[in-house]
Amino acid sequence: MTNYSIMILPGDGIGPEIMAEVRRIMAWVEDVHSVTFDVTDGLIGGCSYEAHGVPLSDEILAAAREADAIIMGCVGGPQWDGKTDYDKRPEAGLLRLRKELDLFANLRPAMCFDALADASSLKREFIAGLDILFVRELAGGVYFGEPRGIETLPGGGRVGINTQRYSDAEIIRIARVAFDMARKRGGRVHSAEKANVMESGLLWREEVSKLHASDYADVKLEHILADNCAMQLVKNPKQFDVILTDNLFGDILSDAAAMLTGSLGMLPSASLGDGGPGLYEPVHGSAPDIAGRGIANPIATILSFAMALRYSLGMGAAADQIEASVSKVLDQGFRTGDLMQAGLMQDGMQQVGTAGMGDAILAALENN
């Protein structure tokens, strides 16, 4: 029997509640797919700061490195908001984990479950069946480029500086991820940059084209300016399969696309490096306003676990089953409070809490 080592980092706020439902789904996968998960639990974020004085301890980082996949909840909360010491803030634990594991590829699906199509700000016909995968470069670009800072000018004024910088090697490694993903999906990549006004964009376009010609001619590649990509996402999002883009444009474009598809409580993500463990986490934060009440939507974290099965453990069939079961319970009318607020509660539907949604998904898995 195959054994996988999984690190679970529930984090703060609603993290422990939603992770409890993931653990139940993991047990189902163990039973049905003849695998075992060797789970290590750890602290990250504010809870780690309270216990160890740091948002991510060296011990947890070392254990995370050894895992096959890391499933994280969410970090942060108002009790730590006032902290001016940035490396002690809950988010610093997550940033350290991403940096130390060199997780340079951020995968964010923007999928629309049929039952939620009416909650979109776009008309149903534009959104039903939407399935885009964003491949965003996560470790470079303007968020990290040097020089950076705020400087006082000789005349007394001030200037804020950030540098957009990409090497050919950084572009090639993220483009490879996008082409590989496209081969497993619809076979199409749109590469978004601003080659018309930025040298880093021009290099991006050239390197993506070269890699495409040498290694991925079977994938359909189109270059698109990032501003046009934003317009097309709102005008006709279903034209896209995989969107490859840099750190800054990816941040903005993937958030915009995600919001076309319903609630924050539905959105999973994956961050991958070269070979080591992937980090899988919901897009949402720790939702302190509803933490501890058993009403949070666990679906984003459950779908993140499904991504771990697909991308780190090679268990695509189990991932498909979980995604199909989520779709089924939504069709059956099960709704957590966030989906209800998003206008998705109609007659005949049933409002459930975190565990109730977990029950429904497990029942759907068992009846498949």
Pairing of strands 131-137, 105-111: antiparallel
Q: How many CA atoms lie within 13 A of 146 on its CB side?
A: 0
| 284 binds ligand NAD per the rule CB under 6 A | yes
Q: Is 86 a catalytic residue?
A: no
Among 177, 296, 309, 344, binds ligand NAD (CB under 6 A): 296
Q: Which residues contact 240 (CB under 8 A, 6 or more apart)?
A: 132, 188, 190, 232, 233
Q: Is 88 a catalytic residue?
A: no
* Catalytic-labelled residue, pool 102, 215, 255, 359: 255
Q: Is 4 a catalytic residue?
A: no
CB 299, min distance to ligand NAD, A: 8
The shares of helix, strand and coil residues in the chain, as percent rounded to the nearest 5, are: 50, 20, 30
- Binding-residue pattern over the window 311 to 340 for ligand NAD, x denoting contact by CB under 6 A: ---------------------------x--
Choose between 212 and 284: whose C-beta lies nearer to ligand NAD: 284
Choose between 127 and 300: whose C-beta lies nearer to ligand NAD: 300
C-beta pairs of 17-20 under 8 Å, 24+ apart in sequence: 17/291, 17/292, 17/294, 17/296, 17/298, 17/354, 18/73, 18/282, 18/296, 18/297, 18/298, 18/300, 18/301, 18/354, 19/71, 19/73, 19/301, 20/298, 20/354, 20/355, 20/358
Separation of alpha carbons 282 and 1, rounded Å = 29
Choose between 216 and 305: whose C-beta lies nearer to ligand NAD: 305
Separation of alpha carbons 331 and 163, rounded Å = 47
Q: How would you classify residue 167: left for phi > 0, otherwise alpha for psi between -120 and 50, otherwise beta?
A: beta
Separation of alpha carbons 311 and 280, rounded Å = 10
* Catalytic-labelled residue, pool 58, 81, 168, 227: 227
Choose between 273 and 337: whose C-beta lies nearer to ligand NAD: 337
CB 350, min distance to ligand NAD, A: 16
How far, CA to CA in Å, does 287 sit from each of 94, 97, 140, 194, 282?
16, 21, 28, 35, 12
Q: How many CA atoms lie within 13 A of 328 on its CB side?
A: 17
Q: Which among 129-137, 157-165, 170-178, 280-288 is the span making contact with ligand NAD, rule CB under 6 A?
A: 280-288
Choose between 232 and 351: whose C-beta lies nearer to ligand NAD: 351
Q: Is 311 a catalytic residue?
A: no
Separation of alpha carbons 174 and 265, rounded Å = 27
- Binding-residue pattern over the window 11 to 50 for ligand NAD, x denoting contact by CB under 6 A: ---x------------------------------------
| 268 binds ligand NAD per the rule CB under 6 A | no
| 287 binds ligand NAD per the rule CB under 6 A | yes
Q: Is 255 a catalytic residue?
A: yes
CB 24, min distance to ligand NAD, A: 16
* Catalytic-labelled residue, pool 88, 131, 143, 180: 143
Choose between 80 and 311: whose C-beta lies nearer to ligand NAD: 80
Q: What is the DSSP letter of 77?
A: -
- Binding-residue pattern over the window 67 to 96 for ligand NAD, x denoting contact by CB under 6 A: -------xxxx-------------x--x--
Q: Which are the catalytic amino acids?
A: 143, 194, 227, 251, 255
Per CB under 6 A, residues contacting ligand NAD are 14, 74-77, 91, 94, 264-265, 281, 284-290, 296-297, 300, 338
